[in-house]
Amino acid sequence: MLLWGAFAVELGILLGLQLQWRLAERRGGGGWLERLAEVPIERAEAIGARRRAGDPRLPLADSLIRRRGYWLTLAFAMILAAPAIAAVVLAGLRWAVAFVAWFATLWFGLDVLVLAAGIVMLWRGWLPPLDGGEGPEDPDPAPEPSDPWSRAHLYRLGR
């Protein structure tokens, strides 16, 4: 029962962080998670820069970055779901319940999981250094069509 309680508290915290981040983004600011991650990101960038300087294979190609980011995110989801998976094993429940718990962790904690994977990838030197949002601007998008026969699913519908 204690493990289920720990998992419920963990999901509540992850959901709270996600909701707060979404609300902060709508207001044009940064969330708590972003502020908490500033120092680890800076440290990981410094260590990753030293590793990239000593290894000509770093940073990795985009396809390898995506693949490693995917697997790291899934691995962190398994770590976060460990209390629920342990509770399923101890209670003798079906593995479908463990899968649901893992999926809930992945769903509620996606921001945390991707951020953690990004920090590890920066630390290992796999990612190029972050530019702090001062990189090249995206080109202006083409104007949206105004006729009623346009392919609406290709354009923003949230106006």
The 10s digit of each residue's pLDDT in 41-52 is: 999 999 999 999
Percent of the chain with pLDDT over 90: 23
In a domain, 140, yes or no: no
In a domain, 144, yes or no: no
99-135 b/e (C-beta count within 10 Å ≥ 16 → b):
eebbebbbebbebbbebbbbbbbbbbbbbeeeeeeee
Q: What is the DSSP letter of 153?
A: G
Specify the pLDDT at position 118: 92
In a domain, 155, yes or no: no
Interacting residues of 17 by C-beta distance below 8 A, sequence separation 6+: 31, 32, 33, 109, 111, 112
In a domain, 60, yes or no: yes
Structurally, how many domains does the chain consist of? 1
In a domain, 135, yes or no: no
Specify the pLDDT at position 68: 94
Give the residue numbers spanning the domain of 61.
2-130
Q: Residue 29 and residue 21: Cα distance in Å, rounded?
A: 9
Specify the pLDDT at position 43: 94
Asked whether residue 146 carries a pLDDT value surpassing 70, the answer given is no
Cis peptide, bond prior to residue 40, ω within 30 of zero: no
pTM of the model: 0.71
* Tokens linked to 5: 């309680």
pLDDT digits (tens, 9 = 90+) for 106-115: 888 888 888 8
In a domain, 77, yes or no: yes
Q: Residue 58 and residue 63: Cα distance in Å, rounded?
A: 13
Specify the pLDDT at position 153: 54
